[in-house]
Structure 1
Amino acid sequence: MDSCPGEEGMALAIPPLRQSEKFHLFVSYSSMDAAWTHMLISRLEATHAGLRVCLHQRDFTPGRNVLENIADCIHQSQKVLLVLSQDFVQSRWCLLEADLSLFGYCLERKPVIPVLLRPCQVPLHLSHLTYLEATDSRFYNKVVQLLCTPNHRLARSLPGLRPVPSLYSGKTLLTLNCINRDILPSWKVGTFSTLSIPDPLKEVLEDPEVYKHAVGILNGVQSPRSCLRYLGCRIVLGIFLILLAMLSVFLIVVSGLDQENPGGSVFHIATVSVFVCLLFVVLAVNSLCWFRRFSKRKMQELVLRVGEANQLLARHSVLLGCETMNKLYFVFVLLEDCRRAFLQAPDGEALFQEALLRFSSAYACCLVHAHFPLCEDAAGAQGHLELGLCFCQFVSLQLKKTGGSG
């Protein structure tokens, strides 16, 4: 399987193009991976005379709509190669090309060859595909093998492909950054786009209005409005209060020395000076720390709003999580078994909704990071997930930690 038939001692036979085909291979990649992709294509074209590879910068028709160029070039190609990386996943054009290639594959049985250049979170609509690893020592030979194999035989000749993990309970679907995250101050609550549902969520959220409603709940959280939200203002106020304390002490000492019997008021001067100094120092420190406490309360408010959104999303096996004010995590998690566990108690549905409100954000973040700080306390307890803690276990541990009751 190292090479296609006839590789030993003779040139490889690239399948001839049919009448409706112009290219042997359409390559979809991120601009960040252009150097690696061009090196691979140059090697293929230099080794195999007559190989026609479609690259957008040289083969797209100038003046035509980009969508028409992509669709036509995929349609006119024998095979499609996807260079997968996190940059590819985050590129809307690359994802569009991937969608069109899969559409063409479904209609014409056009082979799609995913190449994993760097580890990445593969979108759900690509997760059923298998891929070649660019780090494999036999990677180039395997690519050549696929190119040499006619399409009707390719399904029986795929060399050592490994399936991407399928959708499972606890899988991270999407990390969503707020609008203008790179220029957003740390004290400001992010605003998240509701124009359209992101591609990774379309597999599980069929109704876009559910997504828009859930994210709209979070967008209702207002940013702090006090001028103390700025670090510069807090520092200036703190310095002013410290200087005011020093001035007050100085004035007290001077006024004490003006008395006829200064020795008798030394204790009084020292006491007042220490009191005034401590008072202003405490005010200065309070001013510096005020915004941190305010931000913590604002974060608690945002977590509660995430809980409200999760009360809507949980019906669709999706939970939201947030650890900062400008980033959201979407996790696919099956909660029906946990819900039935809650329903065994009186007012079980109300308890389940309260648990979603209070604990679902933290639970989603634990699933994202695959880390449960209290999981050793649940050793031996039966849960509803094969890996990690199920939601009802997590809620039980949180209540135990805070001394609450379920």
Structure 2
Amino acid sequence: MESGPGEGGVALAIPPLRPSEKFHLFVSYSSVDATWTHGLIGRLEADLAGLKVCLHERDFTPGRNVLENMAECIQQSQKVLLVLSQDFVQSRWCLLEADLSLFGSCLERKPVIPVLLRPCRVPLHLSHLTYLEAADSHFYRKVVQLLLMPNHRLARSLPAWRPAASLYSGKSLLTLNCVNRDSLPSWKVGTFSTLGVPDPLKEVLEDPEVYKRAVGILNGVRSPRSCLRYLGCRVTLAVFLFLVALALLSLPLIMGLLENTPARRFFLISANMFFCPLFFVLGVNTLCWFRRFSKKTMQELVLRVGEANLLLAPHSLLMGCDTMNKLHFVYVLLGDCRRVFLEAAEGEALFREALLRFSCSYACCVAHAYFPACDEAHRARGRRLLELGLCFCQFVSLQLQTRQGREVNPV
């Protein structure tokens, strides 16, 4: 086991706090990792005399809003330590703390020390940080060295920041999950956070109001209130309708069809031929309700995404969704494609209509790097090509050709 830094008898001096600072270190972690984190903090406080560490369960002001507590404590700390694990990634509060800490580091050059406790899928807005590994035999010594170093010298000693990749048309910037994804029923439409612009988008979208309005359009899609949203209700109602249909089939036998008058027999047979298929079709439709609802909801979401893209397109940003709880943001240069539309009569209106109808599916194609087939002659006519796919005007042209072909040759 690695020896403590202060075991040689030499007292280790930590940087003094400035008047605006209350803590040397703010620690953000998941409650699942509390035992490991408390052990690390306890060892640090024992080895570093005077070290003041902010832990939410110990130092947050009771009765205050959680967001206010987090923001204030991060701003009052010299450094921020993130204990990364899959539980951390899945915790909304931990991710919000990470966002606030990175926001503080951008404004005040506050150092952020990420520690990888267990392998996990690090969120995109944290992926530019290179982390310390808890499994490293020299991990504790490295953490102490970083804590002892003044902030103005720490920029050179922190794990290297991964340089942001240069922007290019067709670059996927962010995949955003809804805030309630873990507890989201299959029938419910996700809600997306509008607290602030995510870090990967700030390079192209500086105005938070544009982002808030664009995402707010999607949050306006309502989930169904029908009892059929529950599988048990659908199955129960469908079984009942099927039983009614079967009962109608046996109704003539029960009522003694041969013993009745011709007029009554005609009435019973006619009613049976009408109501029996009707209840059977109603039962099938009840079981298929969720499929129809999902298709209808996705169509509404696609239209809402198109409306949002009218706000985002001037910033070379497009949004796409292929599920009810996930958004894709891509950087796309649309200037040349817009000029192609302007060559036609009412070109501006056509460009807006194309954004409304096709920008969602196009953004998904860019995010997944999967485009519909396009012949080389058509590809060569494009004004500006993406490196691995079609530009927006080419995509719209291909979609219109495909739809016209389906109308001429229906299956």
1:316 aligns with 2:319: no
Residue of structure 2 aligned with 1:334, choices 322, 332, 337: 332
> In structure 1, what is the Cα distance between the partners aligned to 2:193 and 2:57?
35
Per-residue deviation, 1:352: 3.2
Per-residue deviation, 1:300: 0.9
1:176-255 equivalences under 5 Å are 176-177=177-178, 186-189=186-189, 196-200=195-199, 204-224=204-224, 228-229=228-229, 231-254=231-254, 255=256
1:260-309 Cα shifts (integer Å, max 9, x gaps): 9xxxx9xxx99998887555433421343245324422321221121122
Residue equivalent to 2:143: 143
1:171 aligns with 2:172: yes
Structure 1 residues 279, 198: CA separation in 2 closer, same or farther (over 3 Å shift)?
Answer: same
Residue equivalent to 2:100: 96
Structure 1 residues 379, 128: CA separation in 2 closer, same or farther (over 3 Å shift)?
Answer: farther
| Matched residue SS, 2:250 | helix
CA contact (8 A) 2:27 2:53 kept: no
Residue equivalent to 1:40: 40
| Matched residue SS, 1:50 | coil
Per-residue deviation, 1:43: 4.6
> In structure 2, what is the Cα distance between the partners aligned to 1:191 and 1:152?
40
CA contact (8 A) 1:366 1:372 kept: yes
Q: What letter matches 2:333 in structure 1? A: L
> In structure 2, what is the Cα distance between the partners aligned to 1:177 and 1:379?
41
Per-residue deviation, 1:331: 0.9
CA contact (8 A) 1:24 1:51 kept: no
Residue equivalent to 2:298: 299
Residue of structure 2 aligned with 1:71, choices 68, 75, 98: 75
CA contact (8 A) 1:337 1:384 kept: no
1:82-117 Cα shifts (integer Å, max 9, x gaps): 445525775334433443344332xxxx64433355
Structure 1 residues 224, 129: CA separation in 2 closer, same or farther (over 3 Å shift)?
Answer: closer
Residue equivalent to 2:115: 115
Residue equivalent to 2:27: 28
Structure 1 residues 116, 273: CA separation in 2 closer, same or farther (over 3 Å shift)?
Answer: same
| Matched residue SS, 1:163 | coil
Structure 1 residues 331, 18: CA separation in 2 closer, same or farther (over 3 Å shift)?
Answer: same
> In structure 2, what is the Cα distance between the partners aligned to 1:58 and 1:272?
70
> In structure 1, what is the Cα distance between the partners aligned to 2:163 and 2:153?
22
Tell me whether 374-383 or 234-243 shows the greater mean CA deviation: 374-383
Residue equivalent to 2:89: 86
Per-residue deviation, 1:310: 0.9
Per-residue deviation, 1:375: 6.8
Q: What letter matches 1:288 in structure 2? A: L
1:305-351 Cα shifts (integer Å, max 9, x gaps): 211221121112332223344x2515141333553563475255444
Per-residue deviation, 1:244: 2.6
Residue equivalent to 1:258: 259
Q: What letter matches 2:332 in structure 1? A: L
1:372 aligns with 2:370: yes
Unpaired segments ≥5 residues, structure 2: 407-411
Structure 1 residues 142, 308: CA separation in 2 closer, same or farther (over 3 Å shift)?
Answer: same
> In structure 2, what is the Cα distance between the partners aligned to 1:88 and 1:259?
71
Per-residue deviation, 1:191: 5.7
Structure 1 residues 99, 378: CA separation in 2 closer, same or farther (over 3 Å shift)?
Answer: farther
Q: What letter matches 2:337 in structure 1? A: R
Unpaired segments ≥5 residues, structure 1: none
| Matched residue SS, 1:300 | helix
Structure 1 residues 308, 134: CA separation in 2 closer, same or farther (over 3 Å shift)?
Answer: same
> In structure 2, what is the Cα distance between the partners aligned to 1:88 and 1:280?
47
CA contact (8 A) 1:127 1:166 kept: no
Structure 1 residues 56, 243: CA separation in 2 closer, same or farther (over 3 Å shift)?
Answer: closer
Q: What letter matches 2:75 in structure 1? A: A
Q: What letter matches 1:299 in structure 2? A: M
Per-residue deviation, 1:372: 1.6
Structure 1 residues 87, 165: CA separation in 2 closer, same or farther (over 3 Å shift)?
Answer: farther
Per-residue deviation, 1:250: 1.9
Q: What letter matches 2:113 in structure 1? A: I
Structure 1 residues 214, 155: CA separation in 2 closer, same or farther (over 3 Å shift)?
Answer: closer
How many equivalent pairs are there? 377
Per-residue deviation, 1:51: 6.9
Per-residue deviation, 1:207: 3.6
Per-residue deviation, 1:354: 2.7
> In structure 1, what is the Cα distance between the partners aligned to 2:23 and 2:293?
61
Residue equivalent to 2:409: none
Per-residue deviation, 1:217: 3.5
Tell me whether 82-91 or 287-296 shows the greater mean CA deviation: 82-91
> In structure 1, what is the Cα distance between the partners aligned to 2:28 and 2:259?
83
Structure 1 residues 374, 285: CA separation in 2 closer, same or farther (over 3 Å shift)?
Answer: same
